[in-house]
Structure 1
Amino acid sequence: RIHLIKDKDATDDYLAKNIKGVSKQEAAAYRNSYKKNICIDMLRQGYHKSFSELLTLIQKWNALREAAGPGSAIWHEKSLEEQPDKLDQLYHFLTRAEAALPAGHYEEVYDNQLSLACFFNEPEDKWLSNYFYEQSFNTAQLVEIDGGKRKAQAYVNMGLINEERGHIMKAAEHFETFYQLTEGTPWKDETGCAYTSLACQHLWRIYTLLADKMLENKEHQEAIKTLIKALKMAKEGGDMKMQGEAAYCLSLAYHFSGEHETALAILKTSVEIFTSLCDSGGLGRAYAAVAKILASQGKSDEAVTYLGEFMKDAESTHLSQSLVDANILLGKVHNERGNYNEALEYFSQASEAAKALSNLPLVAEAESYCGIARAHQLMVAFNSHVAAAAADPRSLQCLLAWKQSRSDVCADPL
């Protein structure tokens, strides 16, 4: 027995000297999940805040999954703790942000939080991205060394998040602050766009959205005031396309409020801008609005004259899309006035122009208008025969013959 004990001691001594063992920590690393190892490493290095934040995010993901329930998209996704690449990013930037915190290096904290917000750019990670944008917004309020640049970035990011969530008024407040912070600065984004121009673009868009809501609620004067601000931002931003759109929207607001002459004057500005840009889509909408306003005032002849100019301009500048729009608009005006032959002629020209563009949806639209005009043409002759049928049997025979052949009805029943 003594010999056996001695042999064991000798064996243990040999193993200790010649074979490298595995420590408890190394063994645990193999046994534990990736998430647990990251958490242990955070705690070992003293990153308690990062550890707590990581666990909170994992719990939030699990709560979102449970709330969505089986059958939802998130139910079939891997959980956050099962995605090592995302855990690595969270570990890296959370710990760097926490390390910068005690020294009051808030600009570094902000940069790391913003990096995480930008990293989680997939649709399923939208909640994570928004979370870190909100965190970076709070941190940006504490940054004092960059003249307010990070604060401006944070405000525009929160404006976009609120706009996406449908909180238009709150988004407008954030964009207005962004505009104030960037006014007169040389700051640019990664694409080279000046922050001041970006602020004008966002404010033009958000003011237009606000005005749309006001128009839906029949708040015409408030909508006009808001759209005047939108036009001011468009001009200040220096984007001609934006100015044309802003003028177009403002003219419609004046039209809805009954100020037709003002609407027409602003629409002409919109037409001039879209013409200079060779913007077929904008021109089509602007001319359609002019024709609608003139028609509502009983000035159909003037509308036809104006649209005729549109068609000539489209032909001379070779704007094929605008040529289609002009013919359709002229066809509509003649159709509403009961001039079905002229309407059919313009709709047919629109169809031919659309075919030249090889634009199948546009061809289908033009052909449908042709069908409407043909039906109206037919109704004139058909009604004449019906009215004359009691006095003249030939009208009844004509109708019966038409029913058999479905060809054109004789224009004159008598």
Structure 2
Amino acid sequence: MKRLLLMAAIMAATNAAAQESKPTPWFSNIKLSGYGLVEYQYSGQKDKEANTFDLRLVRVSLDGRIAGDFYWKAQMQINGNTATKGSSPRLVDLFAEWQKYGFFKVKAGQFKLPFTFENPMHPIDQGFMSYSQNVSCLSGFSDRSGQHSSNGRDIGVQLQGDFLKNKSGRNLLHYQVGVFNGQGINTKDVDQQKTIAGGIWVMPVEGMRIGVFGLEGSYAREWSYTDDSNMKHTEKKSLPQHRYAISADYKTKSDWTFRTEYIHSTGEGFKTSDNEKNADLKLNGYGSKADGLYALAIAPIKKEKAHLKARYNMYRRDGSWNTSKTMYEIGADYKFSKNIGVTAEYVFVNDRTLSDHNYNMADVQLQFRF
């Protein structure tokens, strides 16, 4: 708690000093912001019943501009979570982007992978209690490869832009492509083989996107151990990863939202996560294929104030129905103001990897920004 308060005080002081001084063309518009998610969740999974409150996320960020053409951002997660209490605070984002031309922008640092529509979305704006299973397992969150939890991010360089304007001046095409370490956040490359990820989409009508994405690379791990004769050894293993996604979303002026994405992956994964100390090189035994699909709809009760929502959320860890986990979600949200709201969901889960396939979940979150 002392560390959290100290960090908040330092960032607040930095922001105050920036506001008191006159902006210059070289370093200006510094802004302190953040958000938090306070969660209650119930799970009725047999022998793993849970009923708990949790601080799901607390993040603080600074961003601004340098010399007018460069946008920069630094973001930290300052709370622990139920899986990795010891790994926070930790750096989540740190990047700068040259934005002089809308059709050609260059970003460098640590940031969201350009893979799927949902991955780059804000945890609150994506609309449900968590990111969909296929995005979580195949886009750098709790990744199938065994990579440590990286919140959909990696370290690298990316090009992106919009072009081909119509008569009204709206761009019809967007592209983005980047080269990354392939190891997740705050980690150097291990096998010296970079990962390439990117996508392209069309915007035929206002509010609609139809796109395809690809990811080609590897995830590697180095394991150190001592044998029976007290000799130390280090081994390295690299697992190729080949993924693609087909995506579509549409948000209407009347505040309806529709979104769906299918993701397919080829490439094996390690049995243990890199979050564990000295994780070994054993494979998870799921084989080389996995895929998943989600489809959602969010309907306004009152525009930009209250909504009803539903999501079909399916993931197959080895590409077969025998290992599918499907979540049928319904819920609602309400915004008390622009910066604070509450969301509630009921989930029926069918998990065919369990002896007792079906169970229920409930989730309520207080979501706030500052």
- The answer to which structure, 1 or 2, has the higher relative contact order (CA under 8 A, 6+ apart) is 2
Query: Structures share a fold, TM > 0.5?
Result: no
Could you state the TM-score of these two structures normalised by the residue count of structure 2?
Answer: 0.22
- Structure number having the greater helix percentage: 1
- TM-score, reference length from structure 1: 0.21
In terms of fraction of residues, the more strand-rich structure is 2
